[in-house]
Amino acid sequence: MEYPLTGIKVLDMSRVLAGPFAGRMLCDLGADVVKLEPPEGDVTRLWGRSIGGISGYYNQQNAGKRNICVDLSQPQGAELVKQLVREADVLIENFRPDVMGRLGLDYDTLAVVNPKLVMLSISGFGAGNADSRRAAYAPIVHAETGLVARQAQISDAYPAELALSVADTNASLHGLVGLLAALLARDRTGYGEHIDLSMVDATMVTNDGMNFALDGATLTTPNEVHQTAAGPLILAGDFRFIWHQLSKLCGVQDGLAKVTPEPSLDEKIAARRAAAHGFFNNTCADREAVIEALDKMNIAWGDVRPASDIRSLASVQARDSVTEVDDRAGGTRPIPQSPYRFRHYASQVQGGAPHLGEHNAAVLADWLGFDEAQSEKYSEVLKHGKD
């Protein structure tokens, strides 16, 4: 089957996660994604297990891309980028907002080179404000947008970083929405677009609990992990609803009917939690009984499993959600498969991640029609590895 983005050329100048993840998804959808790295390489080349000279973190975010290594500190480097931009449909970058301008590669300059270019710029705080120059990895945005405080409040624990780079991945996905919309609009108007995407904005709009903060309302209680005869399970739903189902459908009692004086709310909650614990651990003797009871009450549940156990999930097995790519060392290594399942189009990871500068000659030949002599003119800015 045909890939939905076949023929789209993407120049990916981003690093770490917010930009590279967006580029990886475009690659899965069939775009020709060329990652442009500096001679020192993306810092994530040092993160995770290295196999065949490629780290696990870098491999996951850059699988299937081609790679060109260009020294942008030299004028010839920016000149070469402009030639690539002339042929590109999309450019992705996640530098601080003033960096591309200092390199002579801001959107206004590149739009003259290629008026049809769709450029996605992801930064922590967006361009043109007092926070723009601040460094912003995901933990900083998590703290500034209230996610760290929210987690501490609902878990009654000291503030701590989240276990997932939500700010980065949300920015990636909102960036994808923006640039795909711009590509669709370009088909209608003939003109490109520049998308200035703030990680703060993407985090706020994706935070389903932001309404409580903005409205000055009380935060709802979280879903909770319950110790059961089936092991630790997270139950989706406010405990008040879970207790309603337990008492009405399973006959669980809190033992407070004849207690005087009237118990406080905290005492009622404590008694009902204890009753729920007893039901899930004692009345339900095994996993089968626990699951049967939860299904009877129409309560969604999930095993609290380590990520290393993900392949045992039935849906992951059925959907081949983990696939194998070339490990660049004569074997294969596992990687999450593309999440998109089309009826009429294909989407899948296109292969392992590239080495630094691995496709210098091939990209210049394919995109620009350069022969060996023309490529040699840029030998001072084209690098291989960390030479």
Taking the CA atoms of 350, 354, 360 and 362 in sequence, report the sign of the dihedral they define: negative
Indicate if the pLDDT at residue 262 is higher than 80: yes
The region of weakest confidence among 124-128, 174-178, 262-266, 358-362 is 262-266
Nearest partner of 325 among 367, 291, 294, 354, judged by Cα: 354
**Across 103-115, average pLDDT:** 97
CA distances, 314 to each of 300, 319, 354 (Å): 16, 9, 32
- Specify whether 371 is catalytic: no
Nearest partner of 222 among 232, 235, 212, 211, judged by Cα: 235
Domains and CATH numbers, the chain: 9-210+315-383 (3.40.50.10540), 224-307 (no CATH)
pLDDT tens-digit map of 164-179: 999 999 999 999 999 9
Cα–Cα distance, 94 to 77 (Å, whole number):
18
Percent of the chain with pLDDT over 70: 99
For residue 221, the model assigns a pLDDT of 67
pLDDT tens-digit map of 330-366: 999 999 999 999 999 999 999 999 999 999 999 999 9
Alpha helices in 207-341 (DSSP H): 210-215, 239-249, 265-278, 287-296, 314-318
Question: End-to-end distance of the chain based on CA atoms, in angstroms?
Answer: 41
Mean pLDDT of the chain: 94
**Among residues 168, 254, 286, 295, which one is catalytic?**
168
Nearest partner of 124 among 165, 177, 153, judged by Cα: 165
**Across 57-82, average pLDDT:** 96
**Across 99-109, average pLDDT:** 96
Looking at residue 352, the DSSP 8-state letter turns out to be P
